[in-house]
Amino acid sequence: LTPSPVIPKSSAKSYACQRRTPLKHHNLLLTEALELLSENAELGENEGRSVAFRRAAAILKTLPQAVQRMEDLQGLPCLGDHSLRVIKEMLEYGSSQEVESTRHSEQYQALKALTGIFGVGVKTAERWFRGGLRCPSDVAKSEERLNSAQQAGVLYHEDLSQRVSRAEADAIGQIVERAVQEVLPGAQITLTGGFRRGKETGHDVDFLITHPEEGKEEGLMPKVIQWLETQGVLLYQKTTRNSYLESKDGPSRPPHNMDRFERCFSIFKLDRSTGEGGPLAQAPGGEVGGCEGRAPGSELEPQHCSTGWKAVRVDLVVSPYSQFGFALLGWTGSKLFERELRRWAGKEKNMSLSSHALYDNSQRRYLRASTEEEIFSHLGLEYIPPCDRNA
C-alpha cells in the first residue's frame, strides 16, 4: 500500500513515541468512539483489546486533517480490523452501533461510575456491580466495607468528579512549593502529568519533587505531608513506596536505590475564593466551609457542603536528583505514550526503561541521563516535547 498523500511521514511510524501527538486534533468524533471502546475493554479487563483501540485512536490524532474516506487511512499503522470497521461505519452513518450500544449499556455506565470513585479499581467495581450497585450513592447507602481511600472517594466524590482547572493546579502548586521550601529549602517542584502536556484541565494535579544535592531528598515526603497536615490542607493522604516498577510492563532490573522513591496519593482542600489551600490563609486552626468535624467514615453520605472549598486529587512524587530526568519523563505521560516508550525500549533497543533508570540489556549497564532529551537520544528517538506526547 502506498501511503496517501495527506499522511505525514511521521504518522506512518508505529510507536506513539516516534510521533508527535498534539492535544488538539481533527478527528475527535472518531477518537472518542475508539477510546470509549478502549475504556470498555479496560473495564472488562481485556487489556490487549483496550490497548489496540487506544493505539488506533492515537494514530488518528496525528493526522493534519479530518478523515473523510477509508482511502485516507491507507498506509497508517495501528489500525486493526475491528477499529477499521468502527471507523468505516462512522464515516458512512455518522455513528457506530457498537459504540452507541456500549455507551448506553448498564454495565459500561455502572463500571465507569464506580471506578470513577477514588480508590475503586476494576475488580472492586465488578464485584459491586454483581452485587447490584450502580453508582456512588448506591455505594454510600450500602453495607459494603470501604477502605480509607474509598471512604474518602465516596465522601468527596462530588468535588472529585469535577475537572481541575489550570488555575487550581497553579494554586495547589503554590501550596506545595511553600510546604517544600519550609521543610527543605532549595528543593524543586515540577508540575507533571497532563498539565505539563498543555492540558487545560485534569482529573488530578501531579508534582515531582527533587533536590539538586543527591540524598537531600531522603525523608522529604513525610516532612512535606506533616507540614501540609498541620496547615489543615489535607483531607486524605496515603504515602507509598513508588510501585511504578511493580507494574507488569515495568523493567526487569530495578535499580537498588528505588526504596528512596516515594509517592503520595492525596486529596487537598482548596479554598475556592482565594485559590489558597484550606485554612492556610486563615488564622491557625481557623475553619473554612462549615464542614469541619465530618470525620471520614463516620457518615458516608456524599457531602454537598463544600461551598467554601473544593476537594482536589493531588499526586506527589519525590525523586533523587540523579533519576530526575527519568522521573520527569515517566510522570509526564500520556499513559499510552509511556507504555509505547517502554515497548520501544524493550522490543527495538533491548533496553528496560522505568521512571528511575534506563538499563541496556545488551551492554549490561545503566545509561545515565539528566534530561529527557538525553533519554530520547539513548533510545535512538527524535525528541518529542511534552505538548506532543498526547497520544
Residue of 71, 118, 64, 119 whose CA lies nearest to 91 = 71
Q: Which residues contact 201 (CB under 8 A, 6 or more apart)?
A: 163, 164, 165, 166
Query: What amino acid occupies position 263?
Result: R
Residue of 97, 100, 10, 104 whose CA lies nearest to 58 = 10
45 to 104, contacts with ligand DCP by CB under 6 A? none
Among 119, 136, 153, 193, binds ligand DCP (CB under 6 A): 193
Strand 262-271 versus strand 205-210 pairing type: unpaired
Query: Crossing angle, helix 28-43 and helix 81-93, to 10 degrees?
Result: 130
- Residue with smaller CB distance to Mg ion, 42 or 206: 206
* 335 interacts with, out of Mg ion, ligand DCP, none, CB within 5 to 8 A per kind: ligand DCP
The radius of gyration of the chain from alpha carbons, rounded to an integer in Å, stands at 22
169 to 228, contacts with Mg ion by CB under 5 A? 193-194, 202, 204, 206
Binding pattern to ligand DCP, positions 240-279, x when CB under 6 A? -------x--------------------------------
Q: Per rule CB under 6 A, is residue 333 in the interface with ligand DCP? A: yes
In the complex, residue closest to Mg ion by CB = 193
Q: Per rule CB under 6 A, is residue 194 in the interface with ligand DCP? A: yes
- Residue with smaller CB distance to ligand DCP, 206 or 372: 206
Give least dist CB 194 to Mg ion, A.
Answer: 5
80, 189, 263 from 215: Cα distances, Å = 48, 16, 16
Q: Per rule CB under 5 A, is residue 330 in the interface with Mg ion? A: no
**Catalytic residue annotation:** 204, 206, 315
In the complex, residue closest to ligand DCP by CB = 333
CB neighbourhood size of 253 (10 A): 14
- The 8 Å CB, 24+ separation contacts for 125-129 are 125/43
Give least dist CB 33 to Mg ion, A.
Answer: 24
- For ligand DCP, the binding residues (CB under 6 A) are 193-194, 199, 202-204, 206, 247, 331, 333-335, 338
